[in-house]
Every structure is written in C-alpha cells, then in structure tokens.
Structure 1
Amino acid sequence: MDTNSDQSSEEINCQNKNQSKCNQKQDESKLSSFFSFAVQKWLQIFFVTLITLGPFICSYGISSVKEGFKEQFNLNDFQYNTMQSSITFVACVFSLFCGVITDKIGLRKSLLMFSILCLCGYTLQLIGIYLPNFYVQCIGQAIGYINLNGLTVIQGPLISRWVDKKQYGFCLSITFLSVRFADVISSWTYPPIYENTGHLYLSFLLGVILLATTLLLGSISSFVMDLKAEKRGQLQQVAISDINLKHVKYLSFNYLIVVLIGVFGLASFYAYYFNSQTILKKYYHIDGITSGRLFSIPFFVSFSSPVFGFVLDKIKSKTSFLIFSVSQIVLGYLIWILFYDCQQDECYKIVIPAYIFLGIFLSTFTNAVWYCVFLITPTKVSGTAYGILVSSKNLGIALFGMLEGYILDQHSVFWAIMHPLILSAFAFIISILLFIKNKKEQFLNFDYKSKLELNNQLIQPDQKSSQSSDNQLSQLN
C-alpha cells in the first residue's frame, strides 16, 4: 500500500513537473512570439517608410535643380509651373482611382503594382532628360508621380493593420519621415552633381538608383511580412470591398472639411516650395546650391515629427493640434512678408527662423490631417477616403502652383510670398471653424474602441440588406 501510494505520488509529481515544463515552454513560445511580432511591427514600419523614400527623391529632385531644368528645356517660370501643374492635374485624377483600386484588389497587390509602375515612370523620365526629349520626360514624370501618390494612399491603411490604434499617430509620423529624408537627400546631392558636371541627367540617374534600391526592398519586404503575418493569424484578413457609389455617403461633411484644410495647408507650402529656389536666386542673388540647402532647413526640423506624433496620440482634441500646426506656417510667411525687402546678408537672418516655423508645420500638419481622416472614415472605404484626400491635395497644389509661377513672372516677390500666406490663412480659419464644430459634436474626440464600433455600424445596414436578399433568393429557390 505504501509503495503503491509512493509510486502514485511520484507519478503525479512527474506529471505535474512535465505539465509545468509544458506550460513553461508554452509561455516561452508565447513570449517569443510576442517579441517576434513586436520586432516584425517595427520592421514593417521601416519598410513602409522606405517604400516612398526613393520616389520622393525623384519627385523633389526636379525642384532642387529647377534653374538647370529650365535652361535645358528653355522654359520660363510660368511654363515650368504649368508643366508641373499639368502633371499634377493628371495625377490628381488618378489618385482617386488609386484609392478605389486599393479597396478593390487589396493592399498587397496594389503595393506591388504601384511600385513597379513608379519605377518604370521615373526611369522613363531619366531617359527623356538624357535624350533630351521634353515630352518623354513629362510622360515619365507623370507615370512616376501618379504611382507615388498611390503608394502614399497605401501607407496609412497598411500601418493601421499592424499598430495599436493608440500608437497610430506616432507610427504614421515615422512613415512621413521618408518625405523629409527625400528632400534633404535631393537638395544636397542633385545641385552639386549638376553644378560640378554640367550634366542634368547624372543627378536624375542617382535618384533612379536610389529609387530602385529603396522601393523594391521596401515593397517586397513589406508584401512578404504582411502576407506571412496574416497566414499566421497575427493580422486580420482584409475583406476586399465591392466598390459601390453608395459608399460616398460614408464620407461625411466633417470629412470634407478636413480635406479642405489639407488642400489649403499643403498647397500653401508646396506653392512656395516649388518656387523657393527661384525666389532666393532671383530676388536675393543666392546661388542654387545654397538655396537648396537653405530650404532643407524645414525638412531637417521636421525630423521631430515622431515627437509630435506621440503628442498627437496623447491629447484628446485633435483639432487644437491642427490649429497649432497651421499657425506655424502662417507665422513663417508673416516673417517673410515683414522683411521681404531684406538684403542678401540680412536675408539669412530672416529665412532661417521663417523656415524653422515651416519645418514645425511639416512635422505636424500631414500627420494631423491623416489622423482626422482615420477617425471619421469607415475602415471599409479608407483607401477611397485617402485617395480623395491625395487627389484633392494634388489639385490644390497644381492650381496654386501654376498661379505662383504666374505671380513670379508678372509681379514682385511681395506677392509671391503673400499668395501662400493667404492660402495658409484660409486653412487656419477653417481649422478654427472645425474646432468650434467639434466642441459641439465631439466627432473627433471618440476613443478608439467606440470610434471603430461606430465605423463598423455604418456599414452593417448594407451587410444586413445583402444577407436578407440572399435569404429571399434561397427561399425562392
């Protein structure tokens, strides 16, 4: 009896030990899988950031050597801005379809398609500049820019699959760093290559090499990681949307207000940005290399965007953050207006603080606008919503960029700076009105869980109606 009881107790102890070891192994495997997913998440953010780095270098590169480009193709400021605006007009139409296509065929297929077409487009632009053939260059630039906008549309929804919604602003701000790095790289490499060699195509050759390296590495790695994580059950499987014109009703009036703020805010910045080298060289006699490096100041400042993204995640009122952001670009242009008649030596004292304010605007504005769209848009049509936003932004940049070129040719530098100031003032006024509206309705102050539930409820009626119609058909059959 005693020996049997001793043996049974020993067996029980062994079973308990084995079970504890199994539990420990399971806990360790869970812990390791947790850490592996955390590592995957930050790798995915890195690759998504890398996707648009090369395309933005190619896109911004033409502005950094604007005077050389004008000289090679014999263009004045108005003709150059008309060319850029025409390409942006084409892109703004297709940007909407980029969002619709993303909702229709899914994020991963859209990612590969836009990446390949973007590389083909900017390679064609390089060929057009080398020949030189103005029309081939324009076609290539248009194809590249259209698909760059498609990649920009994808970034927000792709990141939202991987991150906790309470970290969305911080993680999204990291992906926007590609824009900052791209401008700094193009401003510090394109002008010196052109000035030292006298060959414009060599600058663009560097851009295409960087494009091919970063774009292919980022898109392929992001595609593989997203697919594997979904198969392992770490990510939800994305239901591909059946595109329907009825989905437009989910994009509310509040969404349209946010889009309008985004249009005026970004148009005010880029209308000045695309012509900054001309303003500094024509009116203040600053050479191309120095002017390019001066305007990299806002982009250096904008590397602080993850800090502002963290703040955006923490504060309740997103509209107050939006007002703060727009006020920075207004302050920057006001400094320019007050001292626009400065001499070359004094100009540096004015341009640096003004550009610092523009840098804070860059660090905060795009993130705030994208975040607001995320909060007030159902996830089912997020691609379409971001596509409309990018398309509207491009339309504003095209129209006001062309107007800025006309002002530079026909009027003084005062009006060339007053024009973007007026645009930024419109964005500031509308953001204040949005703040007042949000005070009453609280549509941008929901917590994440209730907001996502509300978004899901918006699309349930369509699902119920489709289910009831299916039931009726089955009964008839």
Structure 2
Amino acid sequence: QRQAREVRCCGPLGAAAGEMAEDETNLMRGEQPPALDDPHEGPSRNEDDVEYENPQWCGKAFCDPSTRAHRLIVLVFLCFLAFGSYYCFDNPGALQTQIENTMVITTSQFSSLYSWYSWPNTVLCFLGGFLIDRVFGIRMGAIIFSTIIIVGQVLFALGALVNRFWLMQFGRFIFGVGGESLAVAQNTYSVCWFKDKELNTVFGLQLSISRLGSMANFMTMPFLFTSFSKLYSGTTGLGVTLLVAAFWCLLSMLCAVVLAVLDRRATRILKREAAQTGGVVRLQDVRNFPRTFWMLCFVCVSYYVTLFPFIGLGTVFFQRKFRFGAVEANLVDSTPYLITAFACPVFGILVDLVGRNLLWVTVAVVGTLVSHSLLAFTFINPWVAMVYMGLNYSLLACSFWPLVAMVVPERQLGTAYGMMQSVQNLGLALISMVSGMIVDSSGYFMLEVFFLAWLCCALIACLLLLMVNAKQGGVLNRGRTKKD
C-alpha cells in the first residue's frame, strides 16, 4: 500500500516556524533540543507516518480523531456517501411515463430496470463484506464501489442517448453491483467510527439523508426532463437528464475519497486496526438457522415486495386513478421516503424504550395493508394512504431488522443478514417483473390486489411467529424491562 506523507493542518511554514522558536527557547535555557524519537515530541519527521499535532487554525477539538467534533465532520461525509446511490436508484420511478413513451417500451420492460438492479445483489450480499475485508479494504472498497455506481448510471444514460434499451438494463445491472456494496462500506465506516458512542443515532441519520436523496429524485427529475426536452428532442433529452443525475454519484465518490483520507489519518493517530465488516459469511451456517429465522425471511420478502415495486410503478397509478399531474404524482409517490427520513429516528427511540419488536412488526404490516386497501378500493385522497404507509414502513424498518440478532448467534449474524438480504433481493427482482406484467395485462387495480395478497401472507406469517415465539420463551416480543 502506498505510503504518502501526511501534511500538517497548520502548513509546512507554520510547522517549521514553531520548531525553530521552540529550539531557540531551549538553547537559551541551556537545554538540548529533544531527540527526534522522543515519545513526548512525536516520531521522526523523516518518517512517512506523521503523528497528530494541534493545528493552529482549527484546534484539537476538530482535528483530533478521538473527539466528538471530529466525528461530526466524518458523519457529514458518511451520511452523503450513499446519497447519490439513493438519488439515482429511483430515477426510473420518477420518469416512468417519460421512459415508456420515449423508449417505446411496455410497463413490463420498464419494471425490468428495477429487476436488473436486484439480480446481482442476490449474490453480492454475501460477497460485499468479503471484498471489503479481504480484497480491497474499506477505504479502497468504498472508492471502487462509488466509481461503479457512476459507471452504471452513465451507461444507463448512454442507453437512452443512443436509443438502446438493453444498454439501459445493463447500466442498471452495473449500478446494482456498486449500490448495495457501497451501503456495506457505509455501515462498516459507521461501526468503526461510532461503535459504543453514537452508533444508533448515526444509523438513523444515514437512513434519513439517504431517503431525502430518494425524495429529491422524485422532486427534481421530472423538472430536469422537461427542461432538457426543450433543448434536445427524443431520446437525447432523456439521456441528458439521466446523465445530469450522475453528478450526484460523483458526490458519493468525493465523500468516499475524503473518508479514506480521514480514516487513514485516524488509523495512524489512534493506532487502531483497519475497519472490517465484522460478520463472516459461512454458508454452512445456514443449515443451523432456526425456523423462526426463515419465517422472518418470508415476512421480509412478502412485505418489501409490496413497497418498492409499488413506488417504482406508482407515479402512473396516481396519474390514471386520481388524475394527478406529473409533479404531484411524483410527490405523493415518494411520500413514504420523506416520512421515513423523519420518522425512523423517532420510532427507533420508541422501540428501544418499549421493546415488543415482533408486535410492532405486526402492527406495521396491518397498517400497510390498510394503506393499500385505501388506494385499491376507495378514492380517498391518496396523500392519506401514502403518509400512513410511510409511517408503517418506518415502524417496520426500526423493529424488524433487530429481530435477526435475537434468533441467530452473534458469530452467525454475517451469514444471517447476508442470506436475508439475498432472499429479499431475489423477491424484489422477481416481483418487479411480475408487477409490470400484471399492469400490462390487467391494470393497476389487479396490481393492488396482488400486493394485498402478499401483505395478507406477511400478516399470517407474523401471527404464526407470535404463536411460535410464545412457545419458545417470547424472546422476539419481550418488553424493554425484561431485556438484558
């Protein structure tokens, strides 16, 4: 690994002036200048690894990696590390009508753009942590994966520019390779910097900023398409719009570079080990997972396939059924993301205080079932249903994922989470394709019935889990006062 000399924050001239003044004072006192390897004065300045000293312009609070102020600086770049990925993930959803009309494709073909994102992650959920731990390292890994999402987004845009839909699909596949792995790198950085400190808050803030990226996509992409369509005709306007979105991926790469520099510096100063994902994936552990884990996997798939595929196809649904304009349809479609950005930290505190995780999961499934029922069978203002859906999604996100750690030993958590995410992505890939076929053949009402059927399956699985859990000691539904 290349060893580059670190430049002191105060600059070479300030550092030299300080050293000369100190040496002059010592000589006037009759003292000898300190040895270069004196532990109180720092290591030799001829060495590549230069230790931390208090910079004159920012002070110790901001430049010492062990302080909260410095971690706050890291947190800013950490939160925006995946912003570009989340912004570009739902580019198709924000431009569904425009893509279908410009590229002359069916809804089934359009939904494949989401499927192609999920296919590589049926495997990469297992390999992402391994690549970071054993091959690239966290710093280079984050830079590589952020570069991959740029390449994927650019290929996606080029497919539109040259009117080749297969190239757009290939770009989404490449984008998926980098997107989920970048999330693994983000989580690894978070644990490395904030473990035993502000970790829960950090995860909540990361999710909030990421979902704001999704919301920003739905708010800005139609406007960009309209603007560029006045300058460029046909598929060129669509391609330029998608190419502009790639600049947000450049922001992610910039954050990855800055985090690599800060983490490398902190590793030298604090003498800590390189960050690792922690969970080691062992496929042989799968056969030892309890049946409650597999029931949780079923709940995960049957719930999430009613959320993300619906949002991906929802813009046209709101335009057709509720006669919304393109801008308002995008806004109401992205409402769950906006609600999640603010509600997740609140619900996280609630679940931490009360416990009863499995009960909250069941409540969230029932609430989402009500939301889809309102959208399918009534003409009540869809803002009501979508806000309620966002609240229930936030509640489930906070209460569901900790359940895995309650049924699987700690040494097997890496495999457990990898398996669950793999199954989730497999379900999303398949259901996204099926959803497009249903819309093409039967319309959006049957799509809602399809989602309601999946939510009923999720509810039945939750009820069965409650009964099985009660017989096994109730570990999944303990109140806070009973937890260790």
Q: 1:34 to 1:62 in 2, by over 3 A?
A: same
C-alpha deviations, 1:138-166, integer Å up to 9, x for none?
A: 21221012210112234444433444569
Cα drift, residue 244 of structure 1: 4.6
8 Å Cα contact 2:297-2:423 kept in structure 1: yes
Of the candidates 201, 208, 213, which is equivalent to residue 246 of structure 2?
A: 208
**2:480 is aligned with 1:441:** no
Q: 2:436 aligns with which of 379, 387, 405?
A: 405
1:74 and 1:413 mapped to 2: Cα distance? 20
Q: Give 1:56's aligned amino acid.
A: Y
Quick one: distance in 2 between partners of 1:211 and 1:249?
Answer: 39
Q: Which residue of 1 aligns with 2:39?
A: none
Please give the secondary structure, in 2, of the residue aligned with 1:274: helix
Over the aligned positions, Cα root-mean-square deviation in angstroms equals 3.4
Shift of 1:255: 3.3
Q: Aligned equivalents of 2:422 and 2:116: distance in 1?
A: 13
Shift of 1:181: 1.0
1:455 corresponds in structure 2 to none
Partner of residue 332 from structure 2, selected from 294, 304, 321: 294
The answer to whether the 8 Å contact 2:150/2:175 transfers is yes
Q: Which amino acid is the alignment partner of residue 70 of structure 1?
A: E
Q: Is the 8 A contact 2:336 2:387 kept in 1?
A: yes
Q: Quote the residue 2:94 is aligned against.
A: 64
Residues 317 and 444, structure 1, Cα contact 8 Å, conserved in 2 = yes
Q: 1:236 to 1:103 in 2, by over 3 A?
A: closer
Offset at 1:75?
0.5
Measure, in 1, the Cα distance between the counterparts of 2:202 and 2:463: 26
Tell me how far apart the structure 2 counterparts of residues 432 and 229 of structure 1 sit (CA, whole Å).
48
Structure 2 spans left out of the alignment, 5+ residues: 1-58, 230-236
1:270 aligns with 2:270: no
Q: 2:122 is matched with which residue: 89, 92, 100?
A: 92
1:317 alignment partner AA: R
Equivalent residue number for residue 320 of structure 2: 282
Q: Which residue of 2 aligns with 1:39?
A: 69
Match of 1:394 in 2: 425
Identify which range, 183-192 or 104-113, moves more after superposition: 104-113
Aligned-partner Cα distance in 1 for 2:445–2:285: 45
Q: Distance in 1 between matches of 2:321 and 2:82?
A: 33
Instruction: Determine if contact 1:169/1:367 at 8 Å carries over to the other structure.
Output: no
Number of the residue aligned with 1:220: 257
CA distance in 1, matches of 2:462, 2:209: 26
- TM-score with structure 2 setting the length: 0.75
> Which runs of structure 2 are paired with 1:66-85 in the superposition (5 Å)?
66-85=96-115
Q: Which amino acid in the other structure matches residue 256 of structure 2?
A: S
Task: Report the structure, 1 or 2, having the larger helix content.
Answer: 1
Return closer, same or farther for 1:220/1:197 CA change in 2, 3 Å cut-off.
closer
CA distance in 2, matches of 1:378, 1:43: 34
Give the counterpart letter for 1:263 in structure 2.
Answer: V
Distance 2:158 2:384 in 1: 39
Q: CA separation of 1:372/1:173 partners in 2, compared to 1, >3 Å: closer, same or farther?
A: farther
Helix, strand or coil: the match of 1:51? coil
CA positional deviation for 1:430: 2.1
Q: Which residue of 2 aligns with 1:321?
A: 360
- Matched-pair contact (CA < 8 Å) for 1:107–1:154: yes
Identical aligned pairs, as a percentage? 18
1:119/1:212 contact within 8 Å kept: yes
Q: Does 1:419 align with 2:450?
A: yes
How do residues 100-111 of structure 1 correspond to structure 2 at under 5 angstroms? 100-105=130-135, 106-111=137-142
Distance (Å, rounded) in 1 between the aligned partners of 2:196 and 2:467: 25
**Partners of 1:92 and 1:424 in 2: CA distance:** 22
Q: 1:54–1:211: 8 Å Cα contact kept in structure 2?
A: yes
Could you state the TM-score of these two structures normalised by the residue count of structure 1? 0.76
Change beyond 3 A, Cα 1:379–1:218? farther
Q: 2-side partners of 1:63 and 1:234: how far apart?
A: 46
Contact in 2 for aligned 1:170/1:308 (Cα 8 Å): no
For the Cα contact (< 8 Å) 2:118–2:428, is it kept in 1? Answer: yes
Within a 5 Å distance, the mapping from 1:110-259 to structure 2 comes to: 110-164=141-195, 168-198=199-229, 199-213=237-251, 215-233=252-270, 244-248=282-286, 251-259=289-297
Which residue does 1:334 correspond to in 2? Answer: 373
Q: By how many angstroms is 1:423 displaced?
A: 1.6
Q: Give the gaps of 5 or more residues in structure 1.
A: 1-28, 343-348, 453-477
The answer to which of 261-270 and 325-334 deviates more is 325-334
CA distance in 2, matches of 1:109, 1:287: 44
Partners of 1:259 and 1:97 lie apart in 2 by: 19
| Distance (whole Å) between structure 2 residues aligned to residue 176 and residue 373 of structure 1 | 19
Q: Do the aligned residues in 1 keep the contact of 2:359 with 2:477 (CA within 8 Å)?
A: no
Structure 1 residue 189: deviation in Å?
0.8
Distance in 2 (alpha carbons) for counterparts of 1:372 and 1:40: 33
Larger CA deviation: 270-279 vs 412-421: 412-421
Structure 1 distance, partners of 2:85, 2:69, is: 26
